[in-house]
Amino acid sequence: MDSLTYHIITFGCQMNEADSDLMASLLERAGWRPSDSRDNADLILINTCSVREKPEHKVHSLLGELRPHKLARPRTVIAVAGCMAQREGDRLLRRAPHVDIVLGTRWFHHIDDLVARVRAGDRPIIALEMEEDPSSVRARNDLAQQPAPLRAFLPIIRGCSNFCSYCIVPYVRGREASRPVAEVVREVNGLVGRGTREVTLLGQNVLAYGRDLPDAPTFDHLLSRLDGIDGLWRIRFTTCHPRDVSDDLISALADLPSVCEHIHLPIQAGADRILAAMNRGYTTDRYLGIVGRLRNAVPGIAITTDIMVGFPGEAEEEFEESLRLYERIRFGGAFMFAYSPRPGTAAAEREDQIPRDIRLARLHKLIDLQNRITLARNHAGVGEEAEVLVDGPAQRGDGLLAGRARNNKQVIFPGPPSIAGSLVKVTLIEAHLWGFRGQLSE
């Protein structure tokens, strides 16, 4: 008999991508195979995101499209996992009764068993409890990513305990839960043994790593342990909360050879009153101080960020003040968003919401500014030689290869496919918003 096939659609952050990879591994271990098309898959699994309205809308319309599909093919299992599944729970089933499984954020590692139950006739299943022992999540993480990719993404801490006033993540992902140092080191060793050369450590705030563990190991301690692994060329991590940047972290960035010169340090807003209302726990002065220390200690470091505009009560003057700050800092790149009210969060309850058209106008103004800065900074890099880890053939362009510099910039250059997976020197010859075109150095 042909094996059963699955199709996964993932929304949201890199953590969700990592969770989807893990679910894929679990399904494959249970004999399932990936299906290139949604339409003839035996399992359609949607891993969802709740951080803004838009990704939630997309899931609702996707579920709408799947309703006739399920009628025509009732044996197809439809599962909704992740943050929106956690948030909506059985409301999701009321709106979309053709969904078979609603799988919360601490349950994704049971996907294989739950799908088997549905196929045996037990439906619908709603699994949302947060109490689920995170150690079982830890154990099954080891199954992920076989065979190992050149660049692996590894959750080291799940959940978030920060409660920024606009953010849904702590509600849908639960409190911070770190994986023990020995377990992370063992997993990275395993990945490197199977060919991984770069790891990106993932967490909503990796700098909170270890606080919840016995002995409270720090994130920089974890970095120093991983730096010693033979065959691991590069270590990256994301995201960092500015409040938790320590001198030890800056030293790790400066001194550990495999730790790449890049930090993603979401600022969110550039006016102190707004930062306070967001419950971010730092001021613009403090943020500027961190940027100064990082740039002094780590030559060439790329500092990228997340910025949100139109937080409730943000005055036009505060928005302008923020733009002036971003012009001063000159981020290497930024993810930029218009504030989106999330039901249940403190900010969504406020009465001074900014009208949508104003939020969007501010967003476009910010994007214009940051694009100019990103492009100008990239132009300044032309002529330099970068160490590039070669991913393989570029998505478009004949005979072109794509890879990343240590500062995480994308570099595209002509070269033989045989150098995929190796480190090469590339001279940067042309700057774009997305990165560089380059030429292999002699």
Contact residues for ligand SF4 (CB under 6 A)?
A: 160, 162-164, 167, 169-170, 204-205, 241
Cis peptide before 5 (omega within 30 of 0): no
Q: What is the DSSP letter of 258?
A: T
- Choosing from 49, 78, 188, 275, the residue that interacts with ligand F3S (CB under 6 A) is 49
Minimum CB distance to ligand SAH smaller for 232 or for 278: 278
CB nearer to ligand F3S: pick between 170 and 393: 170
Instruction: Please compute Rg for the chain using Cα positions.
Output: 22
- Dig out the tokens for 270 from the structure: 């550039």
The entry of ligand SF4, ligand SAH, ligand F3S, none that residue 340 binds, CB within 5 to 8 Å by partner kind = ligand SAH
Q: Using CB distances below 5 to 8 A depending on partner kind, what does residue 170 bind out of ligand F3S, ligand SAH, ligand SF4, none?
A: ligand SF4
Q: Is residue 51 part of the contact set for ligand F3S (CB under 6 A)? A: yes
Q: Which residue has the tokens 């994308």?
A: 410
Instruction: Check residue 16 for interaction with ligand F3S (CB under 6 A).
Output: yes
Q: Work out the number of other CB atoms within 10 angstroms of the CB of residue 70.
A: 19
- Residue 169 found at the interface with ligand F3S (CB under 6 A): yes
Measure the CA–CA gap between 406 and 310, rounded to whole angstroms. Answer: 33
Return the residue of 25, 50, 370, 408 that touches ligand F3S, per CB under 6 A: 50
Closest CA to 187 of 144, 236, 133, 235: 144
| Position among 32, 107, 166, 413 found at the interface with ligand SAH (CB under 6 A) | 166
Work out which of 104, 266, 312, 435 binds ligand SAH, going by CB under 6 A: 266
How many Cβ atoms sit within 10 Å of the Cβ of residue 148?
A: 16
The whole-angstrom distance between residue 211's C-alpha and the CA centroid of its chain comes to 21
Could you give the string, one character per residue 20-59, with x where binding to ligand SAH holds by CB under 6 A and - elsewhere? -------------------------------xx-------
159 binds, among ligand F3S, ligand SAH, ligand SF4, none (CB under 5 to 8 A by kind): none
Amino acid found at 253: L
Which pair of structure tokens corresponds to residue 56? 């939630």
Min dist. Cβ of residue 159 to ligand SF4 (A): 9
Q: Which residues have CB under 8 Å from 349's CB, separation 6+?
A: none
Nearer Cβ to ligand SAH (166/413): 166
Which is nearer to ligand SF4, 236 or 437 (by Cβ)? Answer: 236
Binder to ligand SAH among 50, 178, 200, 205 (CB under 6 A)? Answer: 205
Please report how close the Cβ of residue 326 comes to ligand SAH at its closest, in angstroms.
13
Look at residue 191 and give its three-state secondary structure. Answer: helix
Length of the chain, in residues: 442
Q: Where are the beta strands (DSSP E) in 220-319?
A: 234-238, 262-264, 302-309
Rounded (10°) angle between helices 356-381 and 316-329: 10
Which stretches of the chain bind ligand F3S, using CB under 6 A? 12-13, 15-16, 49-51, 82-83, 168-169, 172-173
